[in-house]
Amino acid sequence: MAEASTDTFKKDSGSQLRVDYDGLRGWLEAVENLGELERVSGAHWDAEMGAITHMLTEKSGGTAPTILFDDIPDYPKGFRTLYGQTSSVKRVALTLGLPIEQERKVDIVQRYHERMQNLELIPPRWVDDGPILENVIDGADVDVLKFPVPRHHEQDNARFIGTADCVITQDPDDGWFNLGAYRCQVYDGKTIGCQITEGKHGRIHRDTNFERGQSMKFVVLCGQDPLLYMLSSSPLPEGVSEYDFAGGIRGAPIDVVRGPYTGFPIPADAEIAIEGEAVPGNVRPEGPFGEWMGYYSDDSVERPYLDVKTILHRNNPILTCAPQHKPVDETGLLKGVAGAAQIWRALEACSLPDILGVWNHTAGPATRFTVVQIRQRYPGHARNVLHVASNCQGGAYAGKWTVVVDEDIDAGELDQVLWAMCTRFDPISDTDIIQKAWASKRDPLYLPGNFNNRILVDACIPYEQKLKGTFPPVVDVSQDLRAALKAKFPDLLGNV
Ligand SMILES: Cc1cc2nc3c(=O)[nH]c(=O)nc-3n(C[C@H](O)[C@H](O)[C@H](O)COP(=O)(O)O)c2cc1C
């Protein structure tokens, strides 16, 4: 952790692109300037806010607004919730400090991927004060229901304070801090759950502590810079703190104050931070919750919970939320971009050449339908790509379909991908099946032992035919004719 000095401010060697907002409130101003902020007054915390977000997002085609709810019944004006942070490509670009306008969806993945390649990690910087310390509550006054915590879906049996959150845990051996988005159910004002799936970094930290019979401290941020949330909900390599990564993307350290109970770093400009402790053996039934695969697929299960010790919050705090549901939900693009960039990184780390695009389709959801676009260079190239994309850290969790396509197919355009799958793919020779892969119990079809089977689809032109030029030519308009016609009929064709 860096001390307060400008020494830690190191410009990365990459592009001039920079995150151009300060914290969640700065982000909201920027979103308002983009015309993508919707303010809603009077929606109830009990299922209404979640349902409104669902209805505005499901068919929006990546243009849904972010929604700031205020005047929530039972709560003081100014105690707000924010939904739909990442449901438009423009807002994802804003959050990552990338150009707002993209020609193709995969362009933003490529830019993010390139940015990560050049990234210099910048550790956070300790500061003594910040707006998060405007209210520090402990002892008998602790009550997480002082915030308008939603019941997100009609069949959830509880209110969940943590969805678009960052759960901070510390590695008990090396001391690094992980931030992961893990859901937190409310049991009462002083007790919350934290559902962390096997293999996730927070879970490894918790399991390691519990195996040693040790209690464990947690911080749950549930209102923070959207960049931290995006990084927390997408995989980074083991041992790399999301704080350092966020600092690298911002080009400046994240300012953090020391949590009064945990001593953990808490962003000075966060909205709400909850400090707590989990004790080995202390469990309570958790869930069900409307899940990211679009089903209430997880029964109520006994899981460790947190005893809340302190609550820190800004005046007029904003609780960030992301209830997932049947596609398309607000997290589809997040996985489409951040998840795809991780897969791209793994493909290049394995020295696989000519990767032109990666996209996780939002109806998937997450990495259930991943498409990789390549320029085939050798026989077997497509198969190499399929196996790495489906098994690397960014793509392995709960995948189902991984598809590889040629350079003329835009990985982000489903119609083109389906055309390739319908015309360049043979079900017998172009399919591989992976068995007993890393699954999720949120999958209604997970197998005993929590495995799944998944399919790899080679929808590229057979390499030999491509080489010999014997595959039929595509019916298309040539680039030359397109350009000529655009020049001749600018009013008609200027925008196509
Ligand atoms: C809105 C949202 C909610 C999530 N909820 C959970 C959850 O409850 N438990 C979980 O293990 N992962 C959940 N995830 C996925 C993790 O955040 C994701 O796998 C992330 O990479 C975990 O961080 P880690 O790799 O540092 O463990 C959620 C993701 C999003 C976007």
Q: 415-424 pLDDT, tens per residue?
A: 999 999 999 9
Return the axis-axis angle of helices 340-349 and 381-391, rounded to nearest 10°.
Answer: 130
pLDDT higher than threshold 50 for residue 8: no
pLDDT higher than threshold 50 for residue 9: no
Residue nearest to atom 3 of ligand 1 (CA): 163
181 Cα–ligand 1 center, Å: 4
- From residue 134, alpha-carbon distances to 138, 204, 411 in Å are 13, 33, 47
Tell me the pTM.
Answer: 0.94
Nearest ligand 1 atom to alpha carbon 180? 23
234 membership: H or E segment, kind and range: none
What is the residue-averaged pLDDT of the chain? 94
- DSSP label of 133: G
Query: Who's near 135: CB < 8 A, 6+ residues apart?
Result: 311, 312, 313, 314, 315
Nearest ligand 1 atom to alpha carbon 199? 27
CA distance 459 to 277: 50
Q: 242-299 pLDDT, tens per residue?
A: 999 999 999 999 999 999 999 999 999 999 999 999 999 999 999 999 999 999 987 8
Which residue segments constitute the domains of the chain, with CATH numbers given?
332-468 (3.40.1670.10)
- From residue 263, alpha-carbon distances to 126, 169, 219, 266, 295 in Å are 11, 11, 10, 9, 38
Q: 71: which 2 tokens?
A: 């005047």
Tell me how many degrees the CA angle 80-83-85 measures, rounded to the nearest 5. 120
Distance from first CA to last CA of the chain, Å, rounded?
50
Nearest ligand 1 atom to alpha carbon 322? 1
212 Cα–ligand 1 center, Å: 25
pLDDT higher than threshold 70 for residue 3: no
180 Cα–ligand 1 center, Å: 6
Residue nearest to atom 16 of ligand 1 (CA): 233
CA distance 96 to 100: 10
pLDDT higher than threshold 80 for residue 14: no
Q: 110: which 2 tokens?
A: 């490529």
Residue nearest to atom 20 of ligand 1 (CA): 233
pLDDT higher than threshold 60 for residue 61: yes
* Backbone phi and psi for residue 453, each to the nearest 5 degrees, phi listed first: -105, 150
Nearest ligand 1 atom to alpha carbon 233? 17
353 Cα–ligand 1 center, Å: 30
Nearest ligand 1 atom to alpha carbon 178? 26
pLDDT higher than threshold 60 for residue 6: no
Nearest ligand 1 atom to alpha carbon 334? 31
Give the chain's largest Cα–Cα span.
Answer: 77
Nearest ligand 1 atom to alpha carbon 236? 25
Return the axis-axis angle of helices 23-34 and 89-96, rounded to nearest 10°.
Answer: 140
Residue nearest to atom 25 of ligand 1 (CA): 235
Residue nearest to atom 12 of ligand 1 (CA): 182
CA distance 420 to 385: 16
CA quadruple 17, 64, 110, 120: dihedral sign: positive
317 Cα–ligand 1 center, Å: 23
Name all residues whose Cβ lies below 6 A of ligand 1.
163-164, 178, 180-183, 195-197, 200-202, 233-235, 322, 324, 331, 334
pLDDT higher than threshold 60 for residue 480: yes
Nearest ligand 1 atom to alpha carbon 204? 27
Test site for ligand 1: of 166, 204, 207, 233, most ligand atoms within 8 A of the Cβ: 233
Nearest ligand 1 atom to alpha carbon 229? 31
User: SS3 helix, strand, coil % of the chain, rounded to 5?
Assistant: 30, 25, 45
Residue nearest to atom 6 of ligand 1 (CA): 182
CA distance 376 to 458: 11
- DSSP label of 119: P
Query: Who's near 480: CB < 8 A, 6+ residues apart?
Result: none
Which segment of 3-17, 66-80, 82-96 scores lowest on mean pLDDT? 3-17
Test site for ligand 1: of 182, 319, 335, most ligand atoms within 8 A of the Cβ: 182
Which segment of 108-117, 129-138, 349-358, 368-377 scores lowest on mean pLDDT? 108-117
425 Cα–ligand 1 center, Å: 34
Query: Who's near 170: CB < 8 A, 6+ residues apart?
Result: 176, 177, 178, 205, 217, 264
Nearest ligand 1 atom to alpha carbon 183? 8
CA distance 490 to 274: 57
Test site for ligand 1: of 200, 201, 208, 231, most ligand atoms within 8 A of the Cβ: 200
Residue nearest to atom 5 of ligand 1 (CA): 182
487 Cα–ligand 1 center, Å: 49
CA distance 102 to 121: 26
Q: With pLDDT > 70 as the criterion, what percentage of the chain qualifies?
A: 97
pLDDT at 5: 31
35 Cα–ligand 1 center, Å: 29
198 Cα–ligand 1 center, Å: 11
284 Cα–ligand 1 center, Å: 20
Q: 191-225 pLDDT, tens per residue?
A: 999 999 999 999 999 999 999 999 999 999 999 99
Average pLDDT, stretch 68-97?
Answer: 97
